[in-house]
A = this chain, B = another copy of it.
Amino acid sequence: MSGRLIVVGLGPGDPRYLTPDAEDALAAAEALYGYGPYLDRVPVRAGQSRHASNNREERARATTALRHAAQGARVAVVSGGDPGVFAMAAAICEEIEAGPDSWRALDVEIIPGITAMLAVAARIGAPLGHDFCAMSLSDNLKPWPLIERRLDAAASAGFVIALYNPVSRARPWQFGNAIERLRRHLPPTTPVIFGRAVGRVDEHINVVTLDVADAANADMATLVIVGSRDTRVIARPGRHPLVYTPRAAAEVSA
């Protein structure tokens, strides 16, 4: 009896982004764990148990899934996007480190997926075509001053910035504050991309400039990409613009 825990990245939502590797892992599992809306994306299969939980219960989900795997089951924990980017893979590792030694003997596999920033970027051009960073704006697990420090560092050094978790009901002011912060470093014309529910039926992408970027246009399903000084917008008659960051860069002004 050797348990197995697989953390599966579902990608942005539509099955056309689900890799064969992820598909096979889902089919082979005896038990599925995950945040309800992600689990709902996985077709029901006979002989598989399904364990939906709330998105605030990542830690409890991880320990329950690990216990189940330690009993010898083939367990899959599903994650939206890529499990390694602000998702379940780190939560699983945290619990393995804190848990019983037997959990270190488990067969653990993580299956990558298309993370939100790649899906949003692909829809609008190539905004991540040059150096970039990815930050979660949630201050549930880190102090807000640290987030501000990172925004300052990234913007002033010329990184494009992908912002995950810009807002939630419990975090109403943070994204507006982040926009204000970025305006200190970047020109008013800097392109800002709001990508909502990309890869799903209610997908919506909007490109604005930093001077008019409005935090009210983001919700929990939104991924935001803030360009650098080099990011460009190509207008196209009758089509959405292409937003991209050139591969070449000159020196960054201080």
Contacts and interface: CB of A to CB of B under 8 A. Distances in A.
Interface of A: 9, 11, 14-21, 24, 82-87, 89-94, 96-97, 104-105, 108, 110-115, 118-119, 121-123, 125-136, 141-143, 145-146, 149-150, 152-154, 156-159, 232, 234-239, 242, 244-252
A89 B244 contact: yes
A20 B21 contact: no
B85 A242 contact: no
A58 to B, nearest CB: 8
B19 A251 contact: no
B146 A236 contact: no
What are the 6 tightest A-B residue pairs by CB atom distance, in nearest-first order?
A90-B129, A133-B133, A93-B244, A153-B157, A89-B126, A141-B248
A146 to B, nearest CB: 6
21 contacts: A84-B118, A84-B122, A85-B118, A85-B129, A86-B247, A90-B129, A91-B247, A92-B126, A97-B242, A104-B234, A104-B239, A105-B238, A112-B122, A130-B136, A131-B150, A141-B247, A142-B248, A146-B249, A153-B153, A153-B156, A153-B157
B142 A150 contact: no
B146 A104 contact: no
Nearest to A134: B132
A229 to B, nearest CB: 12
B122 A111 contact: yes
Contacts of A92: 126
A237 B105 contact: yes
Given A84-B128, A108-B242, A131-B150, 9 more contacts: A85-B118, A93-B125, A104-B235, A128-B134, A132-B133, A141-B247, A146-B249, A150-B157, A150-B158
Contacts of A159: 133, 150, 153-154
